[in-house]
Structures are given as structure tokens and as C-alpha cells.
Structure 1
Amino acid sequence: MTASKLTHDTIGNLQAGAIGYAIDRAIGEAMHDCESRPGLDKPRTVTIKLTLRPAQVKGLDNAASDTLNTIGIAAQVAVSTPARSAGAEFLNVSPGVNEDGEPEIHAVFAQEGLFVARKEGN
């Protein structure tokens, strides 16, 4: 069996194949966001970051060798989708007093929400 070298085709084999699944999942999340919000013309981004660091094996005399023996590779996968937001809501301002009797201002809803769960006892 011959060893595979690291290429764009083999990146998914890192971490025993876990990175490949992470890449597939991130692509799926970005695609799902496009599907669920097709009218939002903002980019969805999948980022694959590979960090390579040379690792030199020290000899018996504990001195570093000039020969490259191994390379440590860390892979990261991230997905970025546009923030979910709603339009601005305007609340009424109502003056009041706090527990110490000092004046304070409260922001209150103009009307009761239609889908608010009522607490027991109300």
C-alpha cells in the first residue's frame, strides 16, 4: 500500500477522515441557508484553514537536526452565514421609579405579543 500525499484531493483524509465530514457539513449548512433564504443576496462562506508546522526530531545528543522529518498539520473548517435579523421594532417610553424611589425610564411594548406564552398564575 502506498502512502497518499497531501493534496486538494486528500485534505478530507486528515484526522482519520473527520475533516472531510466537517467540510461536507459546512458546505451543507451554507447550501441550506441559501435554500431557506434565497432572497438574501449576501455571501455564505466556507473556510478551510490548514496550518503546517515543521517538526524536527532531535537526535541522541538532543540537538535539532537540519533534516525535516515530519510536518504537523492542523485543519479547521468554519462556515459563515449572514446574520438573521428582523426589522426594527419601536417601543413606547414610560417613566417610572425604581426600588429606591428614583426616577427611571422603561421601554414597553405598544401591544401585547400574539404568541407570548402565559406564565402559570396569570
Structure 2
Amino acid sequence: LTELKGDAGGSRLSVPRADIARDGGAHVVLSNFGAIAHALRRDIGHLVLYLQKEGGLSCALAGDRTSPATTTLRVKWRGGRGFAERWTSILLRYIKAFVTCNQCRGAVTELLGVGRT
């Protein structure tokens, strides 16, 4: 999950590999979560909401939300060693739903709220 390539225009999206570390017995920390959200060009809050609702994860942000380099994510995880695979599958579903274009399959897109007041 390091690079997505779009068909039209050769648009590429490079996502950094998640720095995952155990934090005690029941938590996992993603130390570069802000950099991942920044690479996807999505709001950190939107990605966290997706992880909570669709991924079923209990998450908490730490650090400064305005600076992607210092934003970390702490996830409650008691599933043992399978977190990296779970994270990858959830992130791929997020990218398919909110990042890649359905028409051109381009990876460099913008998320706009159309018709909202």
C-alpha cells in the first residue's frame, strides 16, 4: 500500500507505510497517521470517523491536528498481531470509496460537499 496509480493522466498517490507500535497490552499507536491523511489529501477528522464507523475501531487522536508530522492515532486493539492487515484493508476501502475517481480511476482527487448549506 505504498503507491496507487491512476489510469488517466498518470496521476499517482504515494501513501507512506504505517508506523505501527504496541502501546501497552490493549492499544496500538500509528505514529505517522497525520502524514498518511496528508498524503491522501483528506481531513484527519474524516479519516478518523471512517475508521470508527466503518472499521469498528475505537480511536483517539494525539498531537497537533494542524501539523501532519505530529499527529498520531491511538487505537484500542485486543486482536493480537493482526492489526497491520486490518489497517490495510480498512484503508484500501477508504481509498476506494473517498479518494479514487470512479470515472477515470485517478488517485489525486478532491472531496467536495455538493449541495450542502
TM-score (structure 2 length as normaliser) = 0.23
Structure with the larger strand share: 1
Structure with the larger helix share: 2
Higher relative contact order (CA 8 A, sep 6+): 2
Larger Rg: 1
